Structure 1
Amino acid sequence: MGTWFVAQDAWVVMAVGVAWFSLLYLGTGALSILLAAVMQRFGYGRRLDPRPVTGAQLRRELGASGSSILVFGLGLVVPWGMLRLGWAGLAVAPSGWQVALEIVLLFFWNELHFYACHRLLHTRALRRFHVMHHRSHVATPWSTYAFHPVEAAMLGSVPLLPMLVHDFSFAALMTLPVLSIVLNNLGHANYEASARAPARGWRAASRRHHLHHACYHGNYGFLLEVFDRMFGSVLPLDAADAVIARQRASDTGARRP
């Protein structure tokens, strides 16, 4: 498969990339909504932010996600070009253990890369590019790719540096965007898939990112909390309570005759 990828023309690579990221976005978004509905039906887990999501928000998220899909898909020409120019290479006949280890390494690199990019996007210089994503005060699976093109380009650059220092297997590189959007959907699901509240470990990612969307600052990590703990950006579990209560009171007052 890797040989096929490198041998293609640039337009084929970009077309396949757009189709691939469209499939990832639509498939994981639909699956996330379905799983949350099933769990809610059986009384397992809970919705985190009770505020309603408007049709305008969903349309905005879908539109922004479409532009991000174009950035990600067309951007595949960059790693393709690195391979064609000999700046990077692919592992030849990698073992199963090598592929598994590479996936683990890329997972941890993705966590660090996301945290660093996310902190930069909250700085004065770059926050104007991140405000589009934060217009979704209530996270949804469709807000997963709802980025400004600059933010999409930053986040989509995750495999480039590792490819310059190691010849990864094509399977590991292809697994990276799948892992990324599955974990991103977990963070944006607005649903805590746990019998225990608050959840612990990886299942707490939804609550942590829900707090980030509700409060804007803090909880900049992806799946893991390790970098937020290291750099003092962890939000308390009740950080969004006052924000949600204030908006619900405002909405109730606006509906009174």
Structure 2
Amino acid sequence: MGRVFESLSAWEVMLWGLVFFGGIYLVFGAATWLLTHRLLPALGIGRVLDPRPLQPGQLRQELLQSGVSVLIFGLGMIFPWGLIQLGWAQLHHDASALRICLEILALVIWNDVHFWINHRLLHTRWLRRYHLPHHRSVVTTPFSTYSFHPIEALMLGNVILLPMVVHDFSFWSLLSVPLFSLFFNCIGHANYDFVSSVGYSHWFAASRRHHLHHACYNGNYGFQFTFMDRLFRTRLAADAAQRHFVMHERKRGRQEGQGAG
């Protein structure tokens, strides 16, 4: 498959990139939505994290912004392809299963480091205006995953370029990056606690941590794991958003009281 990728023309690379990123966004997003809005609640598994309603027109806005991100990610496939064409990177065509597994593990760790660095930069006063469109989704949905400003999409979408110039990866290892990244992103933005029995620091509690990031805006800049937030002391407390939920309940109580009167 790697040799096929190398032999494609620039236009073919960009076309297949658009189909790939658009397809996985819609499939993963729709599957996570159905899972958290239909199947798991019906089975009594897990719970909703943020009880507040979505903003008017939120889903439409997320889909529109995500469409731009899909365009950037898809057309952006020209860059890893270009590195190979220029001889600045190479694919390993005969990698063993063990090598591929180790490469994916390294890329999973690098993805978390890369995400934390760029995410933290996007919360600085110089770049935060490019991150605010993503934070319009205070209560997140699986379709929030690609809902970025174009600058943010460019920053987060270059994750495989540096690894490619320092190591000859298998095509399958590189292909895994957008797949596990989007999968974990959909989980993180699902506004659903899938495994309520585990602790706040557990890998399976990533949705709890990222929902707090959207509810509180600052803190919990990591992706799936906690090691970067622990290292730089940016991890939020498990109850960091509680006051927001209390205020919401009080406001709803007043509105219901006024309606009854």
TM-score (structure 1 length as normaliser): 0.96
Aligned partner of 2:50: which letter?
Answer: D
Change (3 A) 1:218 1:140: same
* Contact 1:192/1:199 (8 A) holds in 2: no
Cα distance between partner residues in 1 of 2:77 and 2:191: 30
C-alpha RMSD over aligned residues: 1.4
**4+ aligned runs moved over 6 Å, structure 1:** none
Cα distance between partner residues in 1 of 2:232 and 2:9: 44
Cα distance between partner residues in 2 of 1:254 and 1:114: 40
Cα distance between partner residues in 2 of 1:40 and 1:198: 21
Query: Does 1:9 pair with 2:28?
Result: no
Change (3 A) 1:7 1:212: same
Cα distance between partner residues in 2 of 1:92 and 1:25: 28
| Aligned-pair CA distance for 1:245 | 2.2
Moved more, 177-186 or 47-56: 47-56
> Residue in 1 aligned with 2:27?
27
Aligned with 1:13: secondary structure?
Answer: helix
Change (3 A) 1:176 1:119: same
Q: Percent identity?
A: 50
Query: Does 1:191 pair with 2:192?
Result: yes
Query: Does 1:158 pair with 2:187?
Result: no
* Contact 2:192/2:207 (8 A) holds in 1: yes
Cα distance between partner residues in 2 of 1:184 and 1:5: 26
Aligned pairs for 1:106-117 within 5 A: 106-117=107-118
Cα distance between partner residues in 2 of 1:213 and 1:194: 20
Cα distance between partner residues in 2 of 1:198 and 1:58: 30
Cα distance between partner residues in 1 of 2:25 and 2:242: 30
Cα distance between partner residues in 2 of 1:90 and 1:197: 39
| Aligned-pair CA distance for 1:34 | 2.1
| Aligned-pair CA distance for 1:151 | 0.3
Cα distance between partner residues in 2 of 1:203 and 1:5: 34
Aligned pairs for 1:196-215 within 5 A: 196=197, 201-215=202-216
Aligned pairs for 1:139-158 within 5 A: 139-158=140-159
> Residue in 2 aligned with 1:122?
123
Cα distance between partner residues in 2 of 1:129 and 1:143: 15
TM-score (structure 2 length as normaliser): 0.95
Moved more, 118-127 or 49-58: 49-58
Cα distance between partner residues in 2 of 1:212 and 1:195: 18
Aligned residue pair count: 257
> Residue in 1 aligned with 2:49?
48
Cα distance between partner residues in 2 of 1:75 and 1:98: 26
| Aligned-pair CA distance for 1:4 | 1.2
* Contact 2:93/2:171 (8 A) holds in 1: no
Change (3 A) 1:197 1:6: closer
> Residue in 1 aligned with 2:101?
100
| Aligned-pair CA distance for 1:18 | 0.7
Moved more, 3-12 or 106-115: 3-12
Cα distance between partner residues in 1 of 2:136 and 2:40: 27
| Aligned-pair CA distance for 1:169 | 0.3
5+ unaligned residues in a row in structure 1: which ranges? Answer: none
* Contact 1:65/1:147 (8 A) holds in 2: yes
The CA deviation string for residues 57-96 of structure 1, in whole angstroms up to 9 with x for no partner, is 1110000000000010000001111000101000031111
Aligned with 1:70: secondary structure?
Answer: helix
* Contact 2:200/2:209 (8 A) holds in 1: no
> Residue in 2 aligned with 1:64?
65
| Aligned-pair CA distance for 1:41 | 1.0
Moved more, 173-182 or 195-204: 195-204
> Residue in 2 aligned with 1:182?
183
